[in-house]
Chains A and B, each alone.
Chain A
Amino acid sequence: MEIVVCLKPVPDAETRARPLPDGTRFDPEGVKFVLAGYDESAVEQALLLKEAIPGSAVHAISLGARSRTDEVLRAAIALGCDSATAIEASPAAFEDPIAVAAGLRAAIEGLPHDLVLLGKQSGDEEEGLVPGALGELLGLPHFGFVVDLRWDATSQRLRFGRSTEAGEESWEAPLPCVIGLQQAWNDPRTAKLPAILKSRRAPIATVRAPTGPPEGPTSEPARFELPPPRTGAKMIEYRTPAEAATKLVRILSEEAKVFP
C-alpha cells in the first residue's frame, strides 16, 4: 500500500504566543515549529499499516516555510517514513485551508497514493477544513474523526471507527480515499537516536504549490488576539457535597447568570 501522510508544522506547545505588532496574526519570531498532536497520530497510523502490509511505503509531505517543513519531514523520516516532500508556497497560502489543500494535491499527484492520511485538524488553528477540501480536490472520498484504522486483506477494504457526538460508528471503505484522524488514540512512537541522526541526511524533494486562482489563497487573517488573562478562581467552602452543589447552583444562577 502506498500511503501519503500530510504534516503541518505547528508551534511547539511550550511556545509563548504573541501577536505581530500589526495585530493580524501570530508572531513566529523565535518560535519552534514541530510535528505534533494529530499529525503524530497520522504518522503512527501510516507506520502501523506499513508494518502490517508487506511492500508498503509511507510518503511524508508538508506545506509551509521551508525551515519548518524540513524539520517535521525529518522527524517523520526518523520515525520510519520512506520519503519526504516539501511543498513551497507563498506565505499567504500557509493559513488558507483551500490553498493548503491545493498545494498538498500538487504533491500527492506526483506520488503513488492508495491512501492519504492526515490529522482531522491541525494542532494550532484547528479549523479542520483541509481534509475535506483535499478529498474534494483529489476527487476522492473523505472520512473524518477516524480512529482504529485497519486493513482487511480479505475484502481489500479499510475498516475503521468514527468517534462522533452521536456515538461510535463502524465503517469500511475501498481505496483510494482521504482519512482525517483523531489525535493520540494510538500512542505515537518515539524516534530512535540513530534514526534521528540518519534523518538529517535524508533527501527532501520539492514541489511548488499552485499560485493562481481558484486555488490560490481565498482568505486572509484579520486579527490575532490572546485570550484575556484569567482572573482568580472562586473557591466554594463546604462540608457536604449537597452543600457544595447548592452553593454552586446559587453562584451560577445569581452571580454568573448562567441559568435564566
Chain B
Amino acid sequence: MPDFSLSPELESLRDMARKFARTEMVPHAAECDRSARFPEEIYRKAHALGLMNLNVPAEFGGTGLSLLEQCLIVEELAYACGGMTTSIIANCLALEPILLAASPEQKQRYLPSFCSEYHLASFCLTEPGGGSDAGALRTRARREGEEYVLDGEKCFITNAPHASLYTVFATLDPAARHRGIAAFVVPRSAKGLTPGKDEEKMGHRASSTSTVRFDGVRVPVADRLGAEGEGFALAMRTLDQTRTPIGALATGIAQAALDHAARYALKRETFGKPIAEHQAIQIKLANMAQAVHASRLLTWHAAWTIDRGQKGTLESSIAKCFASDAALHVADEAIQTFGGYGYMKEYPVEKLLRDAKLTQIYEGANEIQRTVIARELLRGYA
C-alpha cells in the first residue's frame, strides 16, 4: 500500500526549512519584492545551514537529499518567498549537469567548493531566439586545439550577475541541431564572459536574472561535460530531475495564498457576518484547497517515482504543469477573496500571483509540458 505519511525524519527536514522560511525569509519578502533587492545575506544563511546544494551528494559536502526530501524543503521556502526560493535552488539546477555527466575528477574539481563556501552557479541554456526550442541554440563552440571558443548570448539566466560558475550549452554545428550540442563548465573569471544587467521582472523580484554574453571565451577541453553532441540530452535529463521541485515551489505559493485567503475570510465581515460564512467564499476556498492538495500529491508522487530510479518524465511534467497552473489560479482567487485590498501592494496576495506566473513559464513552459505529457501518454496507446 502507498504510504502518504511523512516519517519523523522527513518531518524534521520540513520543520527546519519551515523555521528558516518563517524567521529568515518572511520578514524580508515584501521589502525585497518592492525594491527588487537580491538578499545575499539570506542566501548565505541558507547555504550555511545546508539548504542550498540539496542535490549534491554528501561525499562532495552537499546535503544529498532524495527528490522527495528536496520537494518538502522547496515547498516550505516558496511559502515564504518564490523569488528567494528560485535563487536558493538555482544551484541545484546549474550543478545537476555536473552530477549527471562529469567525470569523477571533474566532480572533485567543481563540487566541494560549492558546498564548503557560499558560491552561486547559473544554468545557461535559454537564448534570446529560442527558449522552448532548445535544439535551435545559436551560441557557438569551436574547437581550437585543446580548447573550445564560445561565442553567443544566453538570456533569462537566474543568479547570473552573482554566479562564480556557469554550466553552458553551446552548439558545435547548428545544422546538426540536437546532435550538435555540447555542455561546458565556465568560471566567472573566464575572459570574454559578461553577465548583463539585472532584468526588471514582474515577480520573483528577490531573485536576480540577466543575460550572459560569451565573446571568444576559451574553455579547456577538460571543462567539457560528457561527449560532443550529448549536450542536448544532458540538458533534458537535467530538467527531468529539476522539474518536480518547481511543482513543489508552485505548491508553496498556492498554500500561502490559501492560508492568507482563509484567515482573511474568517476576519472580514460583510452583511453582518464573516465572509467565510458566505457560500460564495466557501466554494472559492474549497476549490483552492483541492488545487493545493492535488498539486502537493502530484509533486510527491513524481518525486517518489524518480527516487525509485524511474525516469518519471510523465509524472514530473504533470506535477509541474498542474501545480503551476493551480498556483496562478489559487493566487488569483486569494486576491478575489481579499477584494480591493487584494489588489493593493500593502497586502501580501498580489505578489503571490506575480510569483506564481513564472512557474508556468520557466524550467519548460507549460505548453512544452503538455506536449511531453501527450507524447508519453500516446506512447501507451500506439
* Beta-carbon contact of A194 and B58 below 8 Å: yes
Is A95 close to B, CB under 8 A? no
Query: Which stretch in A18-26, A50-58, A104-112, A185-193 binds the other chain?
Result: A185-193
Query: A34: which B residues are within 8 A, CB to CB?
Result: 15
Partner of B49, one of A193, A197, A199: A193
Partner of B9, one of A190, A194, A195, A200: A200
* Beta-carbon contact of A190 and B20 below 8 Å: yes
Residues 327-343 of B at the A interface (beta carbon under 8 Å)? none
**Closest B-chain residue to A199, C-beta based?**
B12
Q: How far is the CB of A68 from chain B (nearest CB, A)?
A: 11
Partner of B63, one of A74, A190, A197: A197
Instruction: Evaluate whether A190 and B13 lie within 8 angstroms (CB atoms) in the complex, with A71-B8, A197-B63 already known.
Output: no
Residue interface mask A65-94, B partner, CB < 8 A = 1: 000001100110010000000000000000
* Beta-carbon contact of B12 and A192 below 8 Å: no
Is A196 close to B, CB under 8 A? yes
Residues 30-67 of B at the A interface (beta carbon under 8 Å)? 48-51, 54, 58, 63, 65
Q: How far is the CB of A189 from chain B (nearest CB, A)?
A: 10
Is B273 close to A, CB under 8 A? no
Is B109 close to A, CB under 8 A? no
Q: How far is the CB of A36 from chain B (nearest CB, A)?
A: 11
* Beta-carbon contact of B58 and A193 below 8 Å: no
* Beta-carbon contact of B49 and A200 below 8 Å: no
Instruction: Evaluate whether A196 and B13 lie within 8 angstroms (CB atoms) in the complex, with A71-B8, A190-B49 already known.
Output: yes
* Beta-carbon contact of A193 and B51 below 8 Å: yes
Query: B13: which A residues are within 8 A, CB to CB?
Result: 193, 196-197
Distance in angstroms between the alpha carbons of A196 and B49 in the assembled complex: 10
Query: A196: which B residues are within 8 A, CB to CB?
Result: 12-13, 16
**Closest B-chain residue to A78, C-beta based?**
B12
Query: B54: which A residues are within 8 A, CB to CB?
Result: 193
Query: B51: which A residues are within 8 A, CB to CB?
Result: 193
Residue interface mask A173-203, B partner, CB < 8 A = 1: 0000000000000000011111111011000
Query: B8: which A residues are within 8 A, CB to CB?
Result: 70-71, 200
**Closest A-chain residue to B7, C-beta based?**
A200
* Beta-carbon contact of A192 and B50 below 8 Å: yes
Is B345 close to A, CB under 8 A? no
Distance in angstroms between the alpha carbons of A191 and B13 in the assembled complex: 10
**Closest A-chain residue to B20, C-beta based?**
A190
Instruction: Evaluate whether A74 and B50 lie within 8 angstroms (CB atoms) in the complex, with A193-B63, A194-B58, A197-B63 already known.
Output: no
* Beta-carbon contact of A191 and B16 below 8 Å: yes
* Beta-carbon contact of B16 and A190 below 8 Å: yes
Query: B19: which A residues are within 8 A, CB to CB?
Result: 190
Distance in angstroms between the alpha carbons of A196 and B16 in the assembled complex: 9
Distance in angstroms between the alpha carbons of A74 and B49 in the assembled complex: 17
Distance in angstroms between the alpha carbons of A190 and B58 in the assembled complex: 20
Distance in angstroms between the alpha carbons of A192 and B19 in the assembled complex: 12
Distance in angstroms between the alpha carbons of A221 and B38 in the assembled complex: 53
Q: Could you give 12 example pairs across A and B, Cβ below 8 Å?
A: A70-B8, A75-B12, A190-B20, A193-B13, A193-B16, A193-B50, A193-B73, A194-B63, A196-B12, A196-B16, A197-B9, A199-B12
In addition to A190-B49, A195-B50, A197-B13, 7 A-B residue pairs with Cβ atoms within 8 Å of each other are: A74-B12, A190-B16, A192-B48, A193-B16, A194-B50, A196-B12, A196-B13
A-B complex: 5 closest residue pairs judged by Cβ atoms: A193-B50, A200-B9, A192-B50, A194-B50, A192-B49
